[in-house]
Amino acid sequence: MTDLKKPIKKAVFPVAGLGTRFLPATKVLPKEMLPLVDRPLIQRAVEEAQEAGIEEFIFVSGRGKSLITEHFEIQPELDDLLREKGKLDLLERVSHSDIPSGKVQICMQQRALGLGHAVSCARSLVGDEPFAVFLVDVMTLGEMGCMAQMIKVYNETGGNVIASSPVPRDLTYKYGILDVENEGDDVSAIRGMVEKPDPSDAPSNLHIIGRYILQPEIFDILDRREKGAGGEIQLTDAMVSLMQDQPFTSVKLKGETYDCGHHLGFIEANIAFALADPQFGRETQEILKKYINKENLNAAA
**pLDDT tens for residues 18-75?**
888 988 988 889 999 999 999 999 999 999 999 999 999 999 998 878 888 888 888 8
Q: What are phi and psi of 13, to 5 degrees?
A: -120, 100
| The pLDDT of residue 225 is above 90 | no
CATH number given to 10-261: 3.90.550.10
| The pLDDT of residue 226 is above 50 | yes
Alpha helices per DSSP H over the chain: 41-51, 66-71, 76-84, 88-95, 115-120, 123-126, 146-157, 218-222, 235-242, 263-276, 281-300
So what's the pLDDT on residue 298? 63
Query: What are the start and end residues of each CATH 3.90.550.10 domain in the chain?
Result: 10-261
So what's the pLDDT on residue 301? 46
Q: Which residues pair with 14 in a beta bridge?
A: 60
Three-class SS of 227-255: CCHHHCCCHHHHHHHHCCCCCEEEEECCC
Would you place residue 296 in the very low, low, confident or very high pLDDT band (cuts 50, 70, 90)? low
Is residue 71 within 8 A of residue 43, CB to CB? The reply is yes
| DSSP category for residue 77 | H
Q: Which of 69-73, 114-118, 251-255 has the lowest mean pLDDT?
A: 69-73
pLDDT tens-place string over residues 201-212: 899 999 999 999
Mean pLDDT for the stretch of residues 276-300:
82
Q: How far apart (Å, rounded) are the C-alpha atoms in residues 104 and 227?
A: 30
So what's the pLDDT on residue 297? 53
So what's the pLDDT on residue 1? 45
| The pLDDT of residue 299 is above 80 | no
Q: How far apart (Å, rounded) are the C-alpha atoms in residues 278 and 244?
A: 46
pLDDT tens-place string over residues 130-146: 999 999 999 999 999 99
CA dist list (Å): 162 to 98, 132, 206, 222: 28, 10, 11, 18
Q: Which residues pair with 208 in a beta bridge?
A: 164
Would you place residue 89 in the very low, low, confident or very high pLDDT band (cuts 50, 70, 90)? confident
Q: What is the pLDDT of the chain when averaged over all its residues?
A: 90
So what's the pLDDT on residue 46? 94
Is residue 204 within 8 A of residue 195, CB to CB? The reply is no
pLDDT tens-place string over residues 7-16: 999 999 999 8
Q: Please confirm whether the linkage preceding 203 is cis (ω < 30° from 0).
A: no
Would you place residue 188 in the very low, low, confident or very high pLDDT band (cuts 50, 70, 90)? very high
Q: Higher confidence at residue 100 or residue 197?
A: 197
| The pLDDT of residue 293 is above 80 | no
pLDDT tens-place string over residues 167-182: 999 999 888 899 999 8
Q: What are phi and psi of 213, to 5 degrees?
A: -120, 120
Query: Among residues 31, 233, 259, which one has the least CA distance to residue 140?
Result: 259
